[in-house]
Amino acid sequence: MNAAERPHEHTPENCRRYLGSLGDYIEGTLGVELCHELEAHMVVCENCRVVVNTLAKTISLYHQLPAPELPNAVKERLLAVLDLKPFLQNGTGSEDLQAE
């Protein structure tokens, strides 16, 4: 039985329940049963379909864009606010932070 054939009651509570699973769904790491439930829900819920499609497109575009260069002054302020300077003095360069 595919997702469209599964019985599903559409309620705002279901929308809220599935909202927390969207990231895992888009990444393909959501459990099979919950994945089927979410797909059945999206068959009857246009709002959730729009949210899933928008999130998937946003993530795709983010991965396609080059990483912006941070000016050194901004990078220094950020490291100070995050209190990462001691970490960097232990042999890890700030270029490691940009890779993530």
**Residue 10 is inside which H or E element, if any?**
none
Gap between the Cα atoms of 50 and 100, Å rounded = 28
- Per-residue pLDDT band for 50 (boundaries 50, 70, 90) equals very high
pLDDT tens, position by position, 15-47: 888 888 888 998 899 999 999 999 988 988 999
Gap between the Cα atoms of 50 and 37, Å rounded = 17
Residue 14: per-residue pLDDT: 82
Residue 19: per-residue pLDDT: 87
- Per-residue pLDDT band for 80 (boundaries 50, 70, 90) equals confident
Q: What is the DSSP string of 40-76?
A: HHHHH-HHHHHHHHHHHHHHHHHHHSPPPPPPHHHHH
Q: At what angle do helices 12-19 and 32-44 cross, to 10 degrees?
A: 140
Residue 98: per-residue pLDDT: 47
